[in-house]
């Protein structure tokens, strides 16, 4: 076991995210923490995990110190199963071959909708963000895991724009909007792990990270949180997990 002073917020985010993945799954991973977490899971617990990139790499195997900075970077093709065009990779989603989508986002709301388009008034936004890319396809057709920094300005009651749908307006609204499968599975932050109520589809706390109180999580959230009746405390990163993580990202590009 490790002391919380021995790992960064970004490291616990990557480790806890990696624990959500299961051997044999096919995961569509975004760059940064999602890819690092998927690669960590592949190295430690899930040798049969298949990682897909939006840029076309299927079955990526990331070499230590060579984490790609964008979804179109081809440095992971060396030991990949195949390399397709972006359209063909997205078709795998439509055909049901992908189990998990794994992304980050600038904003998330109480129903798990993600915004990566803009912040503020659409006619005069305060900030323009990268946009959807394949984010809408991924969130519409898979069970989603989201890893992101926990701040009140990011965890809002309603996102300024739904780039990637979660449970939309809650309840059955996702299915009623033409998306009968998938939806948000987990949200991982440096403070806690969140799931979604099976009926209301509102976000709820499943587990607090070591040393984090309920009040701290609520104070950093822009809407009222529900807490699961069996809210637990997550196990901190182990030395082995941290050593492997730091081996994969020796320059601390994603875990500083």
Supply the residues annotated as catalytic.
Answer: 54
Strand ranges for 90-179 from DSSP E: 100-103, 107-108, 114-115, 118-121, 124-128, 143-147
> CA-CA distances (angstroms) from residue 228 to 17, 102, 202?
19, 23, 11
How far apart (Å, rounded) are the C-alpha atoms in residues 46 and 108? 28
Taking a C-beta distance cutoff of 8 angstroms, is the pair 61, 41 a contact?
A: no
Quickly count: other Cβ atoms within 10 Å of residue 63's Cβ.
Answer: 12
Pick from 200, 205, 106: nearest CA to 146: 106
Return the residue matching tokens 């050593």: 243
Q: How many residues does the chain have?
A: 256
**For residue 156, what are its two tokens?**
């809002």
Q: Using CA atoms of 115, 118, 121, 126 in order, give the dihedral in degrees to the nearest 10.
A: 130
> Residues near 215 by Cβ (< 8 Å), separated by ≥ 6?
none
């Amino acid at each position: 076991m490790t002391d919380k002073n021995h790992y960064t917020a970004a490291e616990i985010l990557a480790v806890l995210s990696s624990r959500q993945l299961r051997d044999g799954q096919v995961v569509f991973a975004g760059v940064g923490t999602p890819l690092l977490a998927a690669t960590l899971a592949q190295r430690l617990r899930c040798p049969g995990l298949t990682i897909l990139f939006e840029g076309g790499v299927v079955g990526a195997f990331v070499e230590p110190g060579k984490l790609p900075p964008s979804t179109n970077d081809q440095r992971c093709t060396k030991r990949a199963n195949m390399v397709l065009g972006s359209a063909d990779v997205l078709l795998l989603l439509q055909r049901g071959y992908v189990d998990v989508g794994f992304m980050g986002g600038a904003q998330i709301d109480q129903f798990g909708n993600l915004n990566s388009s803009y912040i503020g008034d659409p006619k005069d936004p305060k900030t323009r963000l990268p946009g959807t890319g394949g984010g809408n396809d991924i969130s519409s057709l898979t069970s989603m895991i989201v890893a992101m920094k926990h701040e009140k300005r990011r965890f809002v009651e309603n996102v300024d724009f739904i780039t990637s749908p979660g449970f939309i307006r809650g309840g059955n609204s996702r299915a009623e909007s033409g998306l009968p499968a998938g939806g948000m599975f987990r949200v991982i932050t440096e403070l806690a792990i969140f799931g979604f109520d099976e009926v209301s589809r509102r976000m709820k706390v499943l587990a607090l990270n070591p040393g984090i109180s309920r009040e701290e999580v609520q104070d950093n959230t822009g809407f009222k949180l529900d807490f699961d009746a069996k809210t637990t405390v997550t196990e901190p990163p182990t030395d082995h997990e941290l050593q492997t993580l730091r081996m994969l990202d020796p320059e601390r590009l994603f875990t500083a």
